[in-house]
Chain A
Amino acid sequence: MTELPLAFTLEAFTDFGFWSGVLVIAGIYAVVTLGLQLNVGYTGLVNFGQAGFMAVGAYTMAILVLETGLSLWLAMPLAVAATMAFGVIIGLPALRLRADYFAIVTLATAEVVRLAAQNARDLTGGNKGLYCNFEGGEQVCFDDSWRSVSDSILGFIENFWSDPESLLPLLLVVWATVAIGTVALGYIQRTPWGRVLRAVREDEDAARALGKNTLLYKIQSLAISAVLGALAGFFLALFLATITPDDYEPIVTFFAFGVLVLGGLASYRGVAIGAVILWTLLEGTRYVELPISEEKAAALRFAIVGVVLIGLMAFRPQGIFGKREEMVLGD
């Protein structure tokens, strides 16, 4: 790579291609983080295993399509169910633990999933990951069905817009999911069920004293979060058109926590806004031409998330939309 002279070109920000990329990845993170919001913000569960749920969802879907020849549209609900079951199996023992232990166990679980995906090469393709199989000279990819739907959506859009961005269908589906998720979660938060979750967050012993089976509520919270994780896993797989273990590193969960605290704890609408802000920042530094090498730019992007986390926690722990009195950041 040649060293560029000092030049700030902000042209990328006027480019729809740039924004569609940012919005797709931000939308995927918004879906994951909605689950975190339910867990961390409303139930008081410090769940560090979201990347693991994404991986379980994405791998289950792709393996079902590639190995058993199932239709993608059948594989997706099955993978969601599998991820949910995985969340419950993990939750049953882990949710009895204290918050700090729970955080470490969920992180370790997500790493076990990733390492298993790396090492169970026959099933997962190891580090090369999953994309297409060749059966009798015919290429079968896990996202074939999606591609054809995506193309027909694009065909429809072309009626109004001569040259639409190819990411547009995915962008629409992801953000529809974000919107539905935000509204639905906001709704259930106002139901009696949602109020019990808050009670668990505020004082689990008190909730138990009132006769609530708090473990059951916490498992439900984790299971819903697992479902959102699985959906985000699908979207990420469709976006990258491949599934490799590296896409589901703990970093993904940490970035999602960045989104969470940026938007604010205990605020569902904050999630989408936090995701867009964080990813505009992150992708923006990729497009702004800085006189530094690729490696240093990558380091810089990483540091941005660190600065966001530290700065927010030190100076504005409630984020943009969070309410200070709703925040149970204590122990």
Chain B
Amino acid sequence: MEASTARVESSPGESLREAARERPAAVAFGVIALMVLALIAAKGVHDVAQASLNGLTLGVIYALGAVGLTLVYGILKLVNFAHGDFLTFGAYMAYMVNVTWGMPLFAGIFVAMAATAVLGLFLERAMWRPMRSRGAGFLQLLLMAIGLAFIIRSTIQWFWGTEIRTLDVNVVDSATFLGLRIGETELMVVLVGLVVLVVTGLVVRFSLLGKQMRALSDDLALAETAGIDTRRVILYTWIFSGALAGLAGVLSGALTNLRPELGFELLLPIFAAVILGGIGNPFGALVGGLVLGVVIEWSTLVIEPRWKVTVGFVALIIALVIRPQGIFGKARAP
């Protein structure tokens, strides 16, 4: 802060870098605004708006996945490589209820969220808590998470096989407004996703639990000293993380289809959203996910759509190299 007053007569380049350091969110917003203007100039308002809408469906899924992942990452310092397979698990739970049992999709969503939350809770009690109390290190937990991802995925493959399955959703009808087309399923995904994201944001921002989660994410030991029941908050974090992952999985399954790799393929973009938003920051993850989805979809206006997944990863690498603490993260000593 005092640096900005001390360096009044710095060069423009210097002050720009200074600005990027001090107000990264504003700079990021500026960059995105410039991208929008350039795209509108090149492709017209309609195409950009349509791509943004498509990107939003992708973005809510990334955001839902990222909020849970970032909380677990921030609080437990656990890089949960099995998070993607939580999504897959949720999707197949919904498939069981929605297709095998023939119940409505919303029942499927509910069961998926509940079941994935229970899975998260169970794993915390059976695996993560005992390992933490033994003082397991970063790599140890990381490799266990990868092992867990393998086991969840192969269990799903054991029961449902590798064939591609679809949920019972309407893929034909679409709605039109303001000249933009959106499929009914996509509309459902965006609406459900956005409502849950807003609720999530409010809970994390205003509820006592949300404040406690953020306190743990900042400094677990300090939060414990301040009298927070950290065990309880950690359990709730897993419930939160699991339920949102389950929902993200169902929405992704509804949007495209179900296969055992569904979640793993989403894991890296979700990591990208987490890192863009700053690790441990749920709001950052939420915005990061939405932005990433939209930017990936914008890229299809300029280059061939088959490259769009690559665009997401390249964005992740560039973001990490330029600003590892993320757009919304605070610069902290490593």
Q: Which residues of A contact B (CB under 8 A)?
A: 40, 46, 93-94, 97-101, 103-105, 107-109, 111-112, 115-116, 119, 254, 257, 261, 295-296, 298-300, 302-303, 305-310, 313-314, 317, 328-331
Contact = CB atoms under 8 A, between A and B. Distances in A.
Given A306-B151, A310-B151, A313-B136, 4 more contacts: A254-B146, A303-B158, A309-B147, A329-B136
Nearest to A297: B158
Given A98-B334, A104-B275, A112-B317, A317 B140 contact: yes
B144 A119 contact: no
26 contacts: A94-B317, A100-B142, A101-B275, A101-B320, A104-B320, A108-B316, A111-B268, A112-B317, A115-B309, A295-B157, A296-B157, A298-B162, A299-B158, A303-B154, A303-B155, A303-B158, A306-B147, A307-B151, A309-B146, A309-B147, A310-B144, A310-B147, A328-B137, A329-B138, A329-B139, A329-B140
Contacts of A331: 77, 137-138
Interface in B80-137: 127, 130-131, 136-137
Contacts of B313: 108-109, 111-112, 115
Interface in B243-275: 268, 271-272, 275
A97 B161 contact: no
A329 B137 CA distance: 5
B139 A119 contact: no
Contacts of B309: 115
Contact of A93 (B310, B316, B321): B321
Contact of A295 (B141, B155, B161, B310): B161
A180 to B, nearest CB: 28
A230 to B, nearest CB: 21
B306 interface: yes
Contacts of A111: 268, 313
Contacts of B146: 254, 257, 306, 309
Nearest to A119: B306
A138 B127 CA distance: 59
Please indicate which of the listed interface residues B130, B147, B314 has the most CB atoms of chain A within 10 Å of its own CB. Answer: B147
B128 to A, nearest CB: 11
Interface of B: 77, 79, 127, 130-131, 136-144, 146-151, 153-155, 157-158, 161-162, 268, 271-272, 275, 279, 304, 306-307, 309-310, 313-314, 316-317, 320-321, 324, 334
B154 A300 contact: yes
Contacts of A46: 138-139, 142
Contact of B157 (A98, A299, A310, A314): A299
A298 B155 CA distance: 11
A119 B316 CA distance: 19
A93 B317 CA distance: 10
A119 B157 contact: no
Contacts of A119: 304, 306-307, 310
Contact of A313 (B147, B151, B275): B147
Nearest to B131: A314
Contacts of B141: 313
B193 to A, nearest CB: 24
A99 B138 CA distance: 9
B312 to A, nearest CB: 9
A305 B147 contact: yes
B138 A105 contact: no
Q: Please give me the 10 A-B residue pairs with the lowest Cβ-Cβ distance, nearest first.
A: A309-B147, A306-B150, A329-B137, A330-B137, A306-B151, A310-B147, A299-B157, A302-B154, A303-B154, A299-B154
Nearest to B157: A299
A46 B317 CA distance: 16
B147 A308 contact: yes
A103 B79 CA distance: 10
B154 A94 contact: no
A322 B153 CA distance: 29
B142 to A, nearest CB: 7
A107 B150 CA distance: 16
Contacts of B317: 94, 105, 108-109, 112
A100 B140 contact: no
B88 to A, nearest CB: 13
A115 B139 contact: no
B280 to A, nearest CB: 11
A206 to B, nearest CB: 15
Given A295-B162, A331-B77, A313 B324 contact: no
A131 to B, nearest CB: 22
Given A108-B317, A302-B157, A100 B268 contact: no
A314 B136 CA distance: 8
Given A98-B324, A105-B320, A108-B317, A303 B150 contact: yes
